[in-house]
Amino acid sequence: MPEPMDKSTPAYSDNREAHLRRLRRVEGQVRGLQRMVAEDTYCIDVLTQVSAATRALQSFALELLTEHMSGCLVDAARAGDEEGEAKVQEAAAAIARLVRS
């Protein structure tokens, strides 16, 4: 059985560099959007890029949520106390925010 994750160590820490690369790509997409607006690019072209950046962020969020559930949430559930219930509620709220966005 794997050791429970330290509470101060995020579940994504093993993939930190990959996550940072993805976020830098999204940052580049957003800078590209700024450039497109500054250059008066056609609205539909800008909206297409907004959609791409949004999908990239949603994909990142889902991956991070999966890591959280398989790490932090599983560890808390194994503890079986109030912490476990609190983590389940926290994850449910995060999922609700993602679904509404």
Q: Domain boundaries in the chain?
A: 16-100
In angstroms, rounded to a whole number, what is the distance separating the alpha carbons of residues 19 and 63? 9
Q: What is the pLDDT of residues 29-66, one digit of tens each?
A: 999 999 999 999 999 999 999 999 999 999 999 999 99
Q: Residue 2: pLDDT above 80?
A: no
Helical H segments across the chain, by residue range: 16-38, 43-68, 74-79, 82-100
Question: By the 8 A CB rule, do 68 and 90 touch?
Answer: no
CATH architecture classification, 16-100: Up-down Bundle (1.20)
pLDDT at res. 26: 97
pTM of the model: 0.78
In angstroms, rounded to a whole number, what is the distance separating the alpha carbons of residues 10 and 45? 37
Helices (H) and strands (E) in the chain, counts: 4, 0
Q: Residue 3: pLDDT above 50?
A: no
